Structure 1
Amino acid sequence: MIVWDVTLSCILLGVTVLIGGCAAIMGMFSLMFLDDCPPETCSAGGAFSAVSIALVIAGVVGAVGLIVAIVRMNKRRVSWPISLGTLVACSVIIVVGGYGWASAVGA
């Protein structure tokens, strides 16, 4: 195995998991405090949909990226581009979900 590639891939995938965990916690807290949201400008259902859909899609993309990276590592092929792409894709999905939440609550 290529040691630097495995190390870099593990670091990138670990950062992806950390970002996903932080996004899940922030999503939970952002939904917890929608009680005083005025119904004229706020949609709690829309906020829930934006957060949950973004987290589910990011989780699926992260899992697929992890599996593909591990398969490539086992075949002794370079896997860091897959890990980097997974990190970027998950980050973009989470940011888009945050914008969806913000537009749903009128922020």
Structure 2
Amino acid sequence: MTYGYLPPPPAKPPLSSGDLAASISALVLTYVGGGVAAFFAVFALAFTDYCPPATCHIDAGINAMAAGFIAAALVALAGTVVTAIRLVKRLRAWPFAVGTLGLCAVLCIGAIGGYIAAVGG
């Protein structure tokens, strides 16, 4: 009875260049778009010079802005981790990257909308 060598492990499937390009592009757009939105949000906060107490709640506006952007940052981080893991495992990753982009965009728009609603436009 002979036991020979174990067969070699199966080769990993090749990494799809289209999947890699789409994933990286979506994640880059996520971070660049979030950075631009945060930049404009800081300027919106800095130049809120007139805030009548009857219609404007600056603390609520700041809280809405902070909550939205913190949530967007956490979603971006989680989406990047999931996308990277799927790319390493050679699984389709672009839907997760595009989903991260879309969800971060919604959260940033919601943050700015919450600020505008709180300070009265």
TM-score, normalised relative to structure 1: 0.96
1:52: which partner in 2?
A: 66
1:15: which partner in 2?
A: 29
Query: Within the alignment, does 1:90 sit opposite 2:107 as a pair?
Result: no
Query: Within the alignment, does 1:43 sit opposite 2:57 as a pair?
Result: yes
Which residue, 34, 44, 51 being the options, matches 2:48? Answer: 34
Where does the alignment leave 5 or more consecutive residues of structure 2 unmatched?
A: 1-14
Structure 2 CA distance, aligned partners of 1:25 and 1:99? 15
Which residue, 20, 25, 40 being the options, matches 2:39? Answer: 25
Q: Alpha-carbon deviations, 1:52-79, whole Å to 9, x = none?
A: 1100000000000000000000000010
1:71: which partner in 2?
A: 85
Deviation, structure 1 residue 10: 0.3
Q: Which has more helix, going by share of residues?
A: 1
Deviation, structure 1 residue 35: 2.8
Deviation, structure 1 residue 97: 1.1
Deviation, structure 1 residue 19: 0.8
Structure 2 CA distance, aligned partners of 1:100 and 1:81? 28
TM-score, normalised relative to structure 2: 0.86
Once superposed, which parts of structure 1, at least 4 consecutive aligned residues long, lie more than 2 Å away?
none
Q: For 2:35, give the aligned amino acid.
A: G
Q: For 1:89, give the aligned amino acid.
A: L
Number of corresponding residues: 107
Deviation, structure 1 residue 49: 0.4
